[in-house]
Amino acid sequence: MVNEIGGSSRQITTPKSEWIDISLPLRDSMVQGPVEPLTPHIEFILHRKKFNNVAMCQININSHNGTHIDAPYHFIEEGETVDQMNLDTTIGRARVIEIRDNMSIKPEELKTHDIQPGERLLFKTRNSSRPERMKKFFADSVYVTVEGASFLAEKKVRLVGIDYISIGGGGLENIDKTHLILLNHGIYIIEDLDLSEVKAGKYEIICLPLRLEGGDACPVRAIIRPV
Amino acid sequence: MVNEIGGSSRQITTPKSEWIDISLPLRDSMVQGPVEPLTPHIEFILHRKKFNNVAMCQININSHNGTHIDAPYHFIEEGETVDQMNLDTTIGRARVIEIRDNMSIKPEELKTHDIQPGERLLFKTRNSSRPERMKKFFADSVYVTVEGASFLAEKKVRLVGIDYISIGGGGLENIDKTHLILLNHGIYIIEDLDLSEVKAGKYEIICLPLRLEGGDACPVRAIIRPV
């Protein structure tokens, strides 16, 4: 019999995982977008020394803090809420596309990638190489233009991901239009991915929205592995 | 070209998903355990009529609200935090075991299930059939006894799940001891699963902890499919 409270280190070793974490750390006071009104606050409220050796934290965050997924309901009143999202869309084959344009993602560049219906596309841009991305908001992040969003809708992709807080960039009008086009066409959006260590190519993705009842978005863990 | 803002319904249909959602809804003011000091509060802070047709919510929750995973750090100061958890442990083959004992999960019943090293075990108990489980805290929920936890540690399982808020039940001493034994042996714990629609048998599970930096636990979406 194992000692009642005694322990050992992890008894099951697994081979080095193939999964690559493409989520950013979710942390207290982390940078957020221009619209979110409250700073993320994550705090330990039970402390081991005071409470029976238990640590427990309180998480006060916006649905769009950190790596997160947008549900259609974020922009569309009758759209799917985050707990209604189709998990066959958030799990499956995905492609990482490296974007050369340092300003925005436009149809001209997208056309060179032979995009197929039903694809899950993750855009790696120069955002991934900005070292201060966790600390300050860049209004000049690489984003999907309105025309780029329309092109992706026409191509009938099912999910898009980007390596910064907003797929619509820092300008409010473009933020709104790009989101609205994508979400109105049932295209899910994952924002604030960390693609810095990832090469362009074919992968499998897993990203599970929380079952946040009636929510417009939620923080997620997103992972990929090469196929 | 697709209409700029115009939309269509979801353009990609998927065959009926094999995945079964075993997560509870995460909702405002939902019931929580006896230790958590603040009521979960989930609120829309941007409203479409006032803010450019955007809806956005603020989520103020405990790390143990709703379906959640406990990291070793919850009870062990030098243990893994939730962002350090091994995803090869939270993804993979799993077994749902139906527990007949209406009080607790003891070695006597566990022994009948031929438990193997490295297994992920989800315990379906009478907790799953209590209709008010989302509304009130039951101190008499079916839980894993201290002896049951030691048995699971001896068997070197890697993950256990239970269909109620606390794997240690409603009594504080047992809560602490059961958690400590499991976590001290590197066994991850998923609590407050919804196994009401699930039969005993073999499955594949996906459950991804958020990358909550330094966290002791976090809400998760957990899904399974038969294998």
d(C-alpha B162, C-alpha B64), whole Å: 13
Contacts of A93 in chain B (CB under 8 A): none
* Annotation says B64 is catalytic: no
pLDDT (average), residues B136-148: 94
**In the predicted model, is pLDDT for residue B11 greater than 50?**
no
Name which of A106, A179, A221, A223 to mutate to probe chain B: the one with the most chain B Cβ atoms within 10 A of its Cβ: A221
Q: Which helix or strand (DSSP H or E) is residue A95 part of?
A: strand A91-98
Query: Which pLDDT score is estimated for B160?
Result: 98
Contact A56 B216 (CB under 8 A): yes
Q: What are phi and psi of A153, to 5 degrees?
A: -65, -40
Residue of A nearest to B17 (CA): A88
**In the predicted model, is pLDDT for residue A13 greater than 50?**
no
Contact A42 B176 (CB under 8 A): no
Q: Which helix or strand (DSSP H or E) is residue A205 part of?
A: strand A201-207
Contact B88 A21 (CB under 8 A): no
d(C-alpha A5, C-alpha B73), whole Å: 15
Exposed/middle/buried for A15, CB within 10 Å: 0-12, 13-18, 19+?
A: exposed
Helix (H, G, I), strand (E, B) or coil at A74: helix
Exposed/middle/buried for A88, CB within 10 Å: 0-12, 13-18, 19+?
A: middle
DSSP, res A220: -
Contact B56 A77 (CB under 8 A): no
Domains in chain A, start-ordered, CATH in brackets? 68-226 (3.50.30.50)
Find out whether B56 and A36 touch, Cβ atoms under 8 Å: yes
Residue of A nearest to B207 (CA): A208
User: pLDDT over 90 for what percent of chain A?
Assistant: 74
pTM, two decimal places: 0.92
Query: Which pLDDT score is estimated for B33?
Result: 87
Query: Which pLDDT score is estimated for B14?
Result: 53
Greater pLDDT, B107 or B2: B107
In this complex, which of A4, A66, A211 lies closest to B21 when CB atoms are compared?
A211
DSSP letters, chain B, are: ---SS---S-S---PPP--EE-BPPB-TT----SS--S--EEEEEE-TTTTTT--EEEEEEETTSSSEEE-GGGT-TTSPPGGG--HHHHEEEEEEEE---SSEE-HHHHGGG---TT-EEEEE-GGGG-TTTTTS--TT--EE-HHHHHHHHHTT-SEEEESSS-TT-S-HHHHHHHHHHHHHTT-EEEESB--TT--SEEEEEEE----BTT-SEEE--EEEEE-
Residue with tokens 């009104």: A37
Q: How many CB pairs under 8 A join A and B?
A: 265
Range with the poorest average pLDDT among A169-173, B14-18, B108-112, B172-176: B14-18
A216 confidence band (pLDDT: 50, 70, 90): very high
List pLDDT tens digits, range A126-176: 999 998 888 889 999 999 999 999 999 999 999 999 999 999 998 878 899
Nearest to A192 by CA among A34, A41, A32: A32
**In the predicted model, is pLDDT for residue A62 greater than 70?**
yes
Q: What are phi and psi of A101, to 5 degrees?
A: -65, 125
B38 Cα to chain A: minimum distance (Å): 8
Contact A210 B219 (CB under 8 A): yes
Contacts of A206 in chain B (CB under 8 A): 91, 206, 208
Contact A117 B42 (CB under 8 A): no
